Amino acid sequence: MMRVSRACRSELEAAPEPGRQVDQHRPLPVLLTVDEAADLLRTSRRAIYAMAARRQLPGVIRLRRRVLIRAADLLHWLDQKRASSPEE
């Protein structure tokens, strides 16, 4: 079982889907769409597609023309990329 930091988990839970209100109790989807990943990383869809093409994002799954990202892999990657705080 993969551990996910509170910061990453709360960040993903705070990322609303376009046109929907934030539901703090909504379970984490296993696979994220490009829009959801872009919201989580606070970047554009175009940047997500470019990062996937350059193999810079973990957990990318291509189903025909659709690109999905494994949420657990992306959260683990974000947790590894974060800067350590002075109290750690």
pLDDT along the chain (88 residues), means of 10: 51 51 65 95 96 96 95 94 78
Residue 62 forms part of a structural domain:
yes
Statement: the pTM of the whole predicted model exceeds 0.85: no
Tell me, what's the pLDDT at 24? 54
Residue 75 forms part of a structural domain:
yes
Which domain does 33 fall in, by range? 6-17+28-81
Structure tokens at 18: 């376009």
Residue 72 belongs to a domain with what CATH number? 1.10.10
Tell me, what's the pLDDT at 56? 95
Residue 27 is given by DSSP the state P
Tell me, what's the pLDDT at 87? 74
Instruction: Tell me how many domains the chain contains.
Output: 1
Query: Residues near 4 by Cβ (< 8 Å), separated by ≥ 6?
Result: 72, 75, 76, 79
Residue 59 forms part of a structural domain:
yes
Tell me, what's the pLDDT at 6? 55
